[in-house]
Amino acid sequence: MIVSIAASIIIGSLLWMDREYAFQVQVSRPLVISTVLGFVTGNLEAAMLVGMALEIIGLNTPPVGTYLPYDESFCTIVAVPVASVSSGIIGYLPAAGFSLILCMPTLIIGREMDALLLRRNEKHVENLDNNWLEKIDGIMLKVLTKMYLKVLAVNAACVTLFCAIAYYMAPVLSETVLKVLAYMPLAAVIIGISGLFIGKRMRSRYSWIGAFILGIASGLIWIGL
């Protein structure tokens, strides 16, 4: 388990770099990340549920211009290992919902990390000399390596923290809570669809919270609570 989690951190951080800084072949989409990390962690079912939910949520918040949306890609690389840890304790359906709720703060952590990296990149541009064109390959490799190591460190810290929380919390969850958690991926899909009606892009924290409440309420109604 530890080896697979460590591998998912290394690979997940690399896939996240595709979001803006490298490759640019759309491997940073939640469904792609979740599929790859699902095979790495050996829990494809829970990983795909996490990826599906975050993919639909992310469709409403594309990065346009200087706007940085909530980072569903970073949330995915954290939530999939957490779901894998939880699955061995409570089953893959509740584990997927549990990881989605538990790792919700990483939507903001990823966005803030992205903003910090962008600001740091501006300093690199300012420090370029007149011969920068001759050194561009070395500069890019150095910058991308440093960025990857920073993403790796933040990802490792988040995965370690949330996996530890999941490991100790999952066994004490009641049957009713587990039943609700099993429907959270469905609720997340409803959240994403709700965003289409609330606005083209859920930039406002109030519209995002409104969609989240609507999705959770719909999920609870669905299971008859």
Mean pLDDT of 88-108: 90
Mean pLDDT of 32-61: 88
Question: Higher-confidence residue: 42 or 128?
Answer: 42
Question: Higher-confidence residue: 63 or 165?
Answer: 165
SS3 annotation, the chain: CHHHHHHHHHHHHHHHHHHCCCCCCCCCCHHHHHHHHHHHHCCHHHHHHHHHHHHHHHCCCCCCCCCCCCCHHHHHHHHHHHHHHHHHHHCHHHHHHHHHHHCCCHHHHHHHHHHHHHHHHHHHHHCCCCCHHHHHHHHHHHHHHHHHHHHHHHHHHHHHHHHHHHHHHHHHCCHHHHHHHCCHHHHHHHHHHHHHHHCCCCCCHHHHHHHHHHHHHHHHHHCCC
How many other CB atoms sit within 10 Å of the CB of residue 117? 17
Task: Give the pLDDT score at 119.
Answer: 76
Task: Give the pLDDT score at 202.
Answer: 47
Mean pLDDT score of the chain: 80
Task: Give the pLDDT score at 14.
Answer: 93
Cα 30 to Cα 72: distance, rounded to the nearest angstrom: 7
Question: Higher-confidence residue: 95 or 203?
Answer: 95
CA distances (Å), 195 to each of 19, 60, 135, 216, in order? 22, 6, 45, 13
Write out pLDDT tens, residues 172-186. 988 888 888 888 887
Token pair listed for 79: 């939530």
Task: Give the pLDDT score at 11.
Answer: 95
How many other CB atoms sit within 10 Å of the CB of residue 46? 29
How many other CB atoms sit within 10 Å of the CB of residue 18? 18
> Can you give the length of the chain in residues?
225
Cα 80 to Cα 33: distance, rounded to the nearest angstrom: 9
Per-domain residue ranges for the chain?
2-171
Task: Give the pLDDT score at 196.
Answer: 62
Confidence class for position 214, pLDDT limits 50, 70, 90? low
Whether residue 168 is predicted with pLDDT greater than 60 in this model: the reply is yes
Question: Higher-confidence residue: 87 or 194?
Answer: 87
CA distances (Å), 84 to each of 39, 46, 94, 131, in order? 11, 7, 11, 49
How many percent of the chain have pLDDT more than 90?
A: 37
Whether residue 70 is predicted with pLDDT greater than 70 in this model: the reply is yes
